Amino acid sequence: MSKIARLDIHNSQIPVICRACEARHKGICGALSPDELTYLSKHTSKYEIGREHEIVPAGEDVSTYSNILSGVVRLSKLMADGRQQIVGLQFAPDFLGRPFRRTNDYTAEAATDVRVCSFPRSVLEEIIARVPALEHRLHEQTLKELDEARDWMLTLGRKSAEEKVASFLYLIATHINPERGETDEPVTFELPLKRADIADFLGLTIETVSRQITRLRKRGLIHVEHNRDVTVPDMEALHEACETARD
Amino acid sequence: MSKIARLDIHNSQIPVICRACEARHKGICGALSPDELTYLSKHTSKYEIGREHEIVPAGEDVSTYSNILSGVVRLSKLMADGRQQIVGLQFAPDFLGRPFRRTNDYTAEAATDVRVCSFPRSVLEEIIARVPALEHRLHEQTLKELDEARDWMLTLGRKSAEEKVASFLYLIATHINPERGETDEPVTFELPLKRADIADFLGLTIETVSRQITRLRKRGLIHVEHNRDVTVPDMEALHEACETARD
DNA sequence: CGTCCTATTGAAATTCTTCAACACTCGTGG
DNA sequence: CCACGAGTGTTGAAGAATTTCAATAGGACG
């Protein structure tokens, strides 16, 4: 039997809507057998959320979870007087939602246009009970998010404004295009966040973000077009700027 | 059979060293049957770590995990130039270590004298494979830590120095003595961290922490004796100070 | 062409840090 | 018993980084 044929047979057991889905490989669905995937797919619905729209509200009862298929989601906390902090960014194929709890204590919003694949909480919990590997996947993602949150705490607490902005650009550059090898080539990407979001992510003001971007530009570490299109000629140099602002 | 008798029989199945252990109830061992607990206990060793001593080094291969039996552990990150950020505090009966990975990317140190119950990584992973409920417990703790990390990101990114210090005191007051009811009574506790640690936790300098403690003292929100013994006459008032420094 | 949204830049104000001096406690050893 | 030094914490004054306030510019869209 040729390799192609085997792949075809395998694919024929996978639900149609899952076949081209990234979540099936790197996402949580990778933990599921074709049977379980078929069961889950009967309860899913894919849809699109426009930029700036809320996906999961803070504090309210939500009964669905989602996989992110494309786009960037921001998780943010709001204080009574309007101050805001972004506490996480999520990319495809991340799982979206707080397992084993009815509410989030942060809001999930679409930073760009976002496509998701949603399913009821009850279905997820049911499958978890049958398939321990699924909880393991979720656990792995939670651990990854915790590692990222702690990395970010260092940035928020101890870095200068210039280092913060450099760190943000480095983070985006390494997350937006995951298949980037460790090449010496320039990296180009479109910023998924506007200045106000970057400021909320970094604990800075819009003006400071803007000034630091200008500085990094003048230092030759980045090149910016149309406010959003960033080129990093030397990723290693940008990486260094994440820890050493002043020289 | 009386209730007492049943409890006795039950206890007789529990390994001696586990009987009075907090981790058996609220900690991860609560997920284990008496048999599994007996198995695990054959591979554990309890010991004490003196204040300021390292428990788990950053970046190095570690082959043991632990439960915290008493004391406070700080998780911190260090930058090349010496800047430091505490990214988490752990109390009994928290689980200590990064599951499914050989290394931590932060250092765990004893902030106070600490007692732990340690066991090899291999034993934990073996039991996880047999007992999905254990992974669930670990997952729940990871989720809790993630929630706390994100709360702290808001504090680090968006709060003033005075709000940060108030938030820290509030955090300690609510964690050190978990059985505190929602009473109106004054709360007293001993600070488990010295000023330098508080500064590293809050992303401030020692001097700023000291000044803000003085301010909170003068505002009557706290009472401090011997630099370490803090009384909060009105927890609700302190809670408000976590979000509104200026009036 | 006007308006809204986004981003940039400058100058003044504020917050926090840095540098420096001093106070307190505790243990050690003369 | 006291002196000494290390470790810890407080306070003041000057300086630096970031924010705030204010003005301006460009692009998208009706």
Q: Which residues contact A194 (CB under 8 A, 6 or more apart)?
A: none
Residue B66: strand, helix, or coil: strand
pLDDT digits (tens, 9 = 90+) for A49-82: 999 999 999 999 999 999 999 999 999 999 999 9
Tell me the average pLDDT of chain B: 91
pLDDT band at B2 (very low <50, low <70, confident <90, very high): very low
Cα(B81)–Cα(A154) distance, integer angstroms: 13
CA nearest B190: which of B227, B164, B149, B151? B227
The answer to whether residue A5 scores a pLDDT higher than 50 is no
The answer to whether residue B47 scores a pLDDT higher than 60 is yes
Q: Which nucleotide is nearest to B210 (CA to C1')?
A: D10
- The residues of B between 174 and 233 with beta carbon within 7 Å of nucleic strand C are 203-205, 207-208, 211
pLDDT band at A181 (very low <50, low <70, confident <90, very high): low
- pLDDT of the residue at B22: 84
Q: In angstroms, how far is CA B70 from the centroid of its own chain?
A: 9
- Percent of chain A predicted with pLDDT > 70: 91
Cα(B149)–Cα(A155) distance, integer angstroms: 13
Nearest to B153 among A139, A156, A244 (CB): A156
Q: What are the backbone dihedrals phi and psi of residue B140, each rounded to the nearest 5 degrees, phi first?
A: -60, -40
User: Does at least one atom of strand C sit less than 7 Å from the CB of A194?
Assistant: yes
Please report, as a single letter, which amino acid is at residue B197. Answer: D
CA distance, residue B131 to nearest chain A CA (Å): 9
Contact at CB, A158 and B79, closer than 8 angstroms: yes
Footprint of strand D on the protein (CB under 7 A): A 160-162, 203-205, 207-208, 211, 246; B 194-196, 206-207, 209-211, 213-214, 224, 227-228
Cα(B205)–Cα(B217) distance, integer angstroms: 18
Mutation target among A143, A197, A201 for the B interface, most CBs of B within 10 A: A143
- pLDDT of the residue at A184: 74
- pLDDT of the residue at A233: 95
- pLDDT of the residue at B182: 63
- pLDDT of the residue at A176: 80
Q: Which nucleotide is nearest to A224 (CA to C1')?
A: C7
pLDDT digits (tens, 9 = 90+) for B165-196: 999 999 999 988 766 656 678 999 999 999 99
Do the beta carbons of residue B149 and residue B235 sit within 8 Å?
no
pLDDT band at A185 (very low <50, low <70, confident <90, very high): confident
Lowest mean pLDDT among A102-116, A161-175, B50-64, B177-191: B177-191
pLDDT digits (tens, 9 = 90+) for A9-43: 456 688 998 988 888 999 999 999 999 999 999 99
Contact at CB, B146 and A147, closer than 8 angstroms: no
Q: Judging by beta carbons within 10 Å of its beta carbon (0-12, 13-18, 19+), is residue A129 exposed, middle or buried?
A: exposed
pLDDT band at A161 (very low <50, low <70, confident <90, very high): very high
Tell me the average pLDDT of chain A: 91
- pLDDT of the residue at A246: 54
The answer to whether residue A138 scores a pLDDT higher than 80 is yes
Chain A residues with CB under 8 Å of B243 CB are: 79-81
Distance B157 CA to D20 C1' (A): 18
- pLDDT of the residue at A8: 47
Q: Which nucleotide is nearest to B228 (CA to C1')?
A: D9
- Residue B93: cis peptide before it, omega within 30 degrees of 0: yes
The answer to whether residue A139 scores a pLDDT higher than 70 is yes
Cα(B146)–Cα(A151) distance, integer angstroms: 12
